[in-house]
Amino acid sequence: MEATRARLTEETLDLAVRELAARDPDLRAIVERFGPPPLWDRTPGFATLVHIVLEQQVSLASAQAAFDRLCAAVDVLTPDRFLELDDAELLSIGFSRQKARYVRDLARAVATGTLDLENLASLPDEDVHRALVAQTGIGPWTASIYLLMVLGRPDVWPATDMALATAVAEVKGLARRPDATQMQALAMVWAPWRSVAARLFWHDYLGRRGRSVPGPTPGGLPPAPARPVG
């Protein structure tokens, strides 16, 4: 299997954490402070992608609440069932008009086969990213999170994630939070395990703020101060 299609497991996560800790004293210090990070894996499919879209630019608590209301409204969250909801229902659930439009477009794409979510697991990272960002409302951040958390790819770096950038600045003692270009440059030294480096930094972000670190859950990601659209 090509490296781009490999999936992280608990075993490979442990191996990668050990390798990164041996390479980078700052990452080793995270493990010494808080232990190894969780796998933070999510279930592949339409429902999880909707959940990630809901997380754009809001707190995870707000996104989770809206997602829970959505699941309660439809029983089983499928593209066809989502498309049955009208504007008033989506607004009451917690969708903005913009996100309602995004997810309707996504639901139509999945329902018609324009976006084949089941096939993504067989594609290289670049092709998965390309297929996702072709959808309205899905940008690099959402595509990266789907690759990293849902497909479990080992070498994905969501450079625009603000919580990740904050954690990098804190761990590395930087004067300011790095921008996306700087984040990409900094992360090169952690290849081919940049997804694991991201988990370590998120783990540190939560630990420094006294937040309990969950095991694998549908929620997965720690909250960010602000997130880019898409």
User: Given a cut of 70, is residue 214 above it in pLDDT?
Assistant: no
Same domain, 70 and 107: yes
What does the pLDDT read at residue 57? 76
Is a pLDDT exceeding 50 seen at residue 135? Answer: yes
Three-state SS sequence of the chain? CCHHHCCCCHHHHHHHHHHHHHHCHHHHHHHHHHCCCCCCCCCCCHHHHHHHHHCCCCCHHHHHHHHHHHHHHHCCCCHHHHHCCCHHHHHHHCCCHHHHHHHHHHHHHHHHCCCCHHHHHHCCHHHHHHHHHCCCCCCHHHHHHHHHHHCCCCCCCCCCCHHHHHHHHHHHCCCCCCCHHHHHHHHHHHCCCHHHHHHHHHHHHHHHCCCCCCCCCCCCCCCCCCCCCC
Residue 61 lies in a domain: yes
Residue 199 lies in a domain: yes
Domain housing 143: 46-150
The pLDDT, as a whole number, for residue 219 is 35
In this structure, are 9 and 69 located in the same domain?
no
Asked if residues 104 and 96 have their Cβ atoms less than 8 Å apart, the reply is: no
The CA distances from residue 31 to 18, 65, 141, 204, in Å, are 9, 31, 26, 9
* Residue 39 reports pLDDT greater than 80: yes
Binning pLDDT at 50, 70 and 90, where does residue 56 land? confident
- The pTM of the full predicted model, rounded to 2 decimals, is 0.88
My answer on whether 66 and 107 are in the same domain is yes
What is the number of structural domains in the chain? Answer: 2
Residue 216, in any domain of the structure? no
Tokens 């829970």 belong to 68
Residue 135 included in any domain: yes
Reported as a pLDDT band with limits 50, 70 and 90, residue 230 is low
Give the CATH number of the domain where residue 51 resides.
Answer: 1.10.340.30
Residue 170 lies in a domain: yes
Task: Please indicate, yes or no, if residue 187 is contained in any of the structural domains.
Answer: yes
Q: What is the CATH number of the domain that holds 15?
A: 1.10.1670.40
- What pLDDT, on the 0 to 100 scale, is given for residue 212? 55
Give pLDDT tens digits for 63-100: 999 999 999 999 899 999 999 999 999 999 999 999 99
Look at 24-38, 188-202, 206-220 and tell me which has the smallest mean pLDDT: 206-220
Average pLDDT in the chain? 90
Indicate whether 181 and 143 sit together in one domain.
Answer: no
Q: Could you tell me if 50 and 146 lie in one domain?
A: yes
